[in-house]
Amino acid sequence: MFEKASKQKLRFSFNGQLRTEDLWDLKLEDLDTIAKALNKEVDASAETSFIKKKSTSNAKSELKFDIVKHIIEVKLAAKDAKLRRAESESKRDMLRGLIDSKKHAELANLSVEELEAQLAEA
C-alpha cells in the first residue's frame, strides 16, 4: 500500500498538499477530516460495474483512503496502549504506597526494644 503511494507520489489535500509520510505528523482529528473527505470521494465515484475496470482516479482515491484509515488505526492503537500503560503504572504506584503503609504499620506495632534492636542492626 505504501509502496504504491510512493510510486504514484500521492498527495493529500489538507491545508495545502501533504505527502504520505506527512500524514503521520497529523492529529487524529485532522486525519479524520481527511478520511471523511476521501470517503465521500470514493462513494461518489463508486458506481458498481461488473464489466468495466475501475478508473485510475477512483483507484487512487481508494488507495488514499486506505492509507489514511491505516494510519488512524495505528495511531488509535498507540493511544490505547499509552493509556493502558499509564493506568498500569498508576495501579503499581498505588500498590507500592499500600505496601509501604503496611510495612510502616508493622514497624509501628513493634516495641521500643524491638525497634532499637533493628536500628542497631541497620
Q: Please list the alpha-helical segments (H only) found in 9-121.
A: 28-44, 56-108, 112-121
pLDDT in tens, 42-73: 887 766 666 666 666 688 889 999 999 999 99
Delimit the domains of the chain by residue range: 2-94
Rounded distance between C-alpha atoms, residue 32 and residue 89, angstroms: 30
Angle between helices 56-108 and 28-44 (to 10 degrees): 150
pLDDT in tens, 38-49: 999 888 776 666
Take residue 83 and report the three cell numbers written for it: 493509556
Predicted model pTM: 0.69
Rounded distance between C-alpha atoms, residue 48 and residue 19, angstroms: 30
